[in-house]
Amino acid sequence: MICSKNILDGDNESEADSTVIQGDITKNITWILAGSPYIISDTITVDEGVKLTIEPGVIVKFTDYSALIIKGQLLAEGNIENEITFTAWDDDFGPYYEDSWVGIMFDSCVSEQSLMKYCIIEKSVGWNGLSPVLIKDCSPTISHCTFRSYMPLWDSGGSYMLCMGDSKPLIEYNCIPQLISAYRGSGIHSINGANPIIFNNNIEYDGVNECWAVDGGGFLNGNYLFSGINNDTIVDLSLGIPVDEIGDGVFNTISTNEPPGFMNVDGITNPRSTPNLLDW
């Protein structure tokens, strides 16, 4: 990996100073606030056995079609005053687009130590139009994060987070909005046996175009699932039948609410009628 100080075109020095990242990350490194924003000009990988630490307040900007792949460890821990932002290079990003950065993939990473906390993930086109955050065969923690401005491909469904294979990540205290122009989309989607623990999140879903807050797997506890239809807020308080309090993937719990907030999940307990306080 090569980090070089770069002065981009522009008169505003605070906006022009940046650190350009080129090449895979092959040794432990920290992206410090003084070097922010960090510009990712191509897809980079954090190699196995390597840790990337990102300080609170850092902004990471991605050029079109670039991505961050974690095979080692990511420690991106912001705080309530200084969130870490992962965003597109183009500040003029709009809701209808084709080109943008791809997303963040946890690929068989060091699960018990990888963490995204108090992060903003925005303006991504998603992995093959599927998800800005993809978790494959590992179990990182995604906590107190805010997702926004992601529009999946119309025919792909899409989700803000996609969990695949042998994955059991902890997904807690996040704010996940309704997908933009989604059909058969979801906030959190699981396939191939993935079984995330989904705890105390606020998740908005469409409720019209066969969209759900959560589908395909996962054990839900203490979440606020809500849909806005005809300017009314409809909260899903359904426990589903049966309720699996372990989350071992045995049951196939389906929402009895109208519109349904979840589908084919492993279990639901303690659904909330009011939003969680996400700054706990």
Cβ contact 203:235 at 8 Å: no
How far is residue 76's CA from residue 31's CA, in Å, rounded to a whole number? 10
pLDDT computed for residue 92 by the predictor = 59
How far is residue 176's CA from residue 160's CA, in Å, rounded to a whole number? 7
- Angle (CA) 178 182 207, round 5°: 60
pLDDT computed for residue 109 by the predictor = 83
pLDDT computed for residue 132 by the predictor = 92
CA-closest candidate to residue 146, choices 74, 87, 189:
87
How far is residue 231's CA from residue 90's CA, in Å, rounded to a whole number? 32
> Is the preceding omega at residue 259 within 30 degrees of 0, hence cis?
yes
Three-class secondary structure of residue 150 per DSSP: coil
Q: Is 274 buried (19+), middle (13-18) or exposed (0-12) by CB count in 10 A?
A: exposed
pLDDT computed for residue 82 by the predictor = 97
CA–CA distances in Å: residue 184 to residues 20, 36, 115: 37, 37, 29
pLDDT computed for residue 101 by the predictor = 87
Task: Please name the amino acid found at residue 98.
Answer: E
pLDDT along the chain (280 residues), means of 10: 34 58 95 96 94 97 92 96 92 59 89 89 80 94 92 69 94 90 82 94 87 93 91 90 77 90 92 85
Cβ contact 115:144 at 8 Å: no
Q: What are phi and psi of 14, to 5 degrees?
A: -65, -25
Q: What is the pTM of this model?
A: 0.90
